[in-house]
A and B are shown apart, each in its own frame.
Chain A
Amino acid sequence: MSDAHAHDHSGDHDHPAHLAHHFETPEQQMESGKLGMWVFLATEILMFGGLFCAYAVYRANNPDVFLFAHKALDTTWGAVNTIVLLASSFTMAWGVRAAQLGQKGILVTMLSLTLLGGAGFMVIKTIEYSSKWEHDLWVGGLNAFYQDSGTLLNPDEAEHTSQDYIEKKAGHKSDGHGHGHGEKSSAHTAANDHGAADAEHHDEEHAEPPTVVAESAAVSVVEVSTVVRPKPPAAGLVADLVENPHPNIEGAQNFYKGVGAVQAAHHGSHYPRFEELDAIDKDRTHIFFQIYFMMTGLHGIHVLVGMGLITWILVKSINNVFSPAYYTPVDLVGLYWHLVDLIWIFLFPLLYLIH
Chain B
Amino acid sequence: MPHQHTHQETHHEKHAHHAVPLWLLIAVFGILMVLTLLTWAVTLVDFGYEINLMVAMAIALVKAAFVGLYFMHLRWDAPLNGFILVASLLFVTLFITFSLLDTGQTLDRTEAQSIRQSATQ
Question: Which residue numbers of A lie inside 8 Å of B, CB to CB?
Answer: 13, 24-28, 31, 34-35, 38-39, 41-43, 45-46, 49-50, 52-53, 56-57, 60-61, 63, 67, 75, 79, 82-83, 86-87, 89-90, 92-94, 96-97, 100-101, 149-150, 152-153, 217, 220-221, 223-225, 227, 229-230, 232-233, 236-238, 241-242, 255-256, 259, 263, 266-269, 280, 283-284, 324-325, 331, 334-335, 338-339, 341-342, 345-346, 348-350, 353-355
Given A35-B80, A345-B63: A100 and B18 within 8 A (CB)?
Answer: yes
* Complex CA distance for A242 and B57, rounded to whole angstroms: 32
- Contact yes or no, A26 B20, CB < 8 A: no
Question: Which residue numbers of B lie inside 8 Å of A, CB to CB?
Answer: 3-6, 8, 10-11, 14-15, 18-20, 22, 25-26, 28-29, 32-33, 36, 39-40, 42-43, 46-50, 52-53, 56-57, 59-60, 63-64, 67-68, 70-73, 77-78, 80-81, 84-85, 87-89, 91-92, 95-96, 99-100, 103-105, 107-112, 114-116, 118-121
- Contact yes or no, B6 A35, CB < 8 A: no
- Contact yes or no, B15 A224, CB < 8 A: no
Can you report 21 A-B residue pairs in the complex whose CB atoms are below 8 A from each other?
A35-B78, A38-B84, A38-B85, A41-B84, A49-B92, A49-B96, A50-B95, A79-B36, A89-B67, A90-B25, A90-B29, A97-B19, A100-B15, A220-B119, A227-B112, A232-B109, A334-B71, A335-B72, A338-B67, A349-B59, A355-B56
Find chain A residues with CB under 8 A from B64 CB: 342, 345-346
Interface of B is mostly: helix
Closest residue of B by beta carbon distance from A34: B81
